[in-house]
Amino acid sequence: MTKIIKVNPVKPEKELMKIAGNIIKKGGTVAFPTETVYGIGANAYDANSAKKIFIAKGRPSDNPLIVHIDSIKNLKNVAYTPKKIMNKLNKVWPGPLTIILKKKKAIPMEVSANLETIAVRVPAHPIALDLIKYSNCPIAAPSANSSGKPSPVKVESVINDLYGKVDLIIDGGDAFFGVESTILNFLTNPPEILRPGAYTVEDLKKIFGNISISEYAKGEKYAEIAITPGMKYRHYAPNTPLFIVADYIIKKLKKRKLNNIIILCTNENALNNVNEVIKLGSEKNLYEVARNLFESLRELDYRNAKAGFIQSFPYSGIGLAIMNRINKASGMQVIKTETMLTEIIKKYELKNV
């Protein structure tokens, strides 16, 4: 039976965190909040514990886990790190940046999906840091959702996906950013963004200098071998068919007055809309859109619509991370013309109100 405890996200109660840490020590699994999304964690040194994560999520074994440590000084325990980046890491850690390095043998192959690399970060959340501290080991932790589904920002989503599948769920309130960490590969020259996230490309260039952007970063293409989460498999997908549309198509949808659909759009696009709408936030604050995205995709399924239509965003700043998730969630189903819209309306038998 899964136990749920509520913990203060700013000042985690020591006794409660000791309970959680002991579960990790004994080989168990704990779902916990980070500054990005909720994660499901286990002892990163223990292959059998790591396997429990894959089982709980229904996650393919060739999709590697991110290892969380509580300080930069402990990076040496899990990875081989070039000295030239250590001072720069001090500027971004703790924080939503995962880096790819050569792993040390202490990390079992089950964690790294049988690769000699490791994805590692220092989370910027008091509960996550205390969990690592009281577990006395690095924690392997992907997002705390059923594999392929939207990552959880709220504890209710974790409970919905993982209750009965993990030993403990820590309720620490909502995650802050709402999208996962940015992943930067330091085994290439220049370093390469493999997954955009809460740190933008523009942010990281100011610290690390020249950075390239992987062909996988937009979420439009999948890799045959994944050295990080998010490269090989479709992620974030609601059960409801989801289509990406441009602003002018949203306007056409408003005029059609269709039922059985949900439009996921910014507050500005939702004005005077007669269809059902899930508001993502303001176009003036795309960090708000990012924070609301995953829970909005879950809400789409709760509404029992026949189809969802979501607006697109610029591939710059945090918009790159948003579009990566939208592209993967939709399976790159893009409606570019009125003719395509008409075909979808006919296919899903969407009728006028």
pLDDT tens track for 6-59: 999 999 999 999 999 999 999 999 999 999 999 999 999 999 999 999 999 999
Q: How confident is the model at residue 269 (pLDDT cuts 50, 70, 90)?
A: confident
Task: Give the pLDDT of residue 53.
Answer: 97
Task: Give the pLDDT of residue 151.
Answer: 95
Task: Give the pLDDT of residue 252.
Answer: 78
Instruction: Please measure the distance between the N-terminal and C-terminal CA atoms of the chain and give it in whole angstroms.
Output: 46
Full-model pTM = 0.94
Element (DSSP H or E) covering residue 66 = strand 66-68
Interacting residues of 346 by C-beta distance below 8 A, sequence separation 6+? none
CA dihedral 218, 34, 155, 61 (to 10 degrees): 60
Instruction: Give the CATH fold of the 242-347 domain.
Output: Rossmann fold (3.40.50)
| In the chain, % of residues over pLDDT 70 | 94
Flag whether pLDDT at 353 surpasses 60.
Answer: no
Residues 161-177 have pLDDT tens digits of 999 999 999 999 999 99
The candidate with the shortest Cα–Cα distance to 266, out of 219, 313, 299, is 313
Task: Give the pLDDT of residue 94.
Answer: 98
Task: Give the pLDDT of residue 337.
Answer: 86
Tokens of 255: 């005029």
The candidate with the shortest Cα–Cα distance to 318, out of 326, 328, 310, 330, is 326
**Sequence letter at residue 328:** K
Are 264 and 326 in contact, with CB atoms under 8 Å apart?
Answer: no
Task: Give the pLDDT of residue 351.
Answer: 64
Task: Give the pLDDT of residue 197.
Answer: 96
Interacting residues of 270 by C-beta distance below 8 A, sequence separation 6+? 263, 277, 279
| C-alpha count within 13 angstroms, C-beta hemisphere, residue 284 | 2
Pairwise CA distance, residues 121 & 107, whole Å: 14
Flag whether pLDDT at 62 surpasses 90.
Answer: no
CATH 3.90.870.10 in the chain is located at 3-213
Residues 173-223 have pLDDT tens digits of 999 999 999 999 999 999 999 999 999 999 999 999 999 999 888 877 666
Residues 299-340 have pLDDT tens digits of 999 998 899 999 999 999 999 999 999 999 999 999 988 888
Flag whether pLDDT at 158 surpasses 70.
Answer: yes
CATH of 3-213, one of 1.10.1040.10, 3.90.870.10, 3.30.1280.10, 3.40.50.1820: 3.90.870.10
Residue 238 three-state SS: coil
CA dihedral 177, 72, 183, 199 (to 10 degrees): 40
CATH 3.40.50.11030 in the chain is located at 242-347
The candidate with the shortest Cα–Cα distance to 98, out of 157, 53, 46, 143, is 143
Give me the count of residues in the chain.
Answer: 353
Pairwise CA distance, residues 173 & 48, whole Å: 29
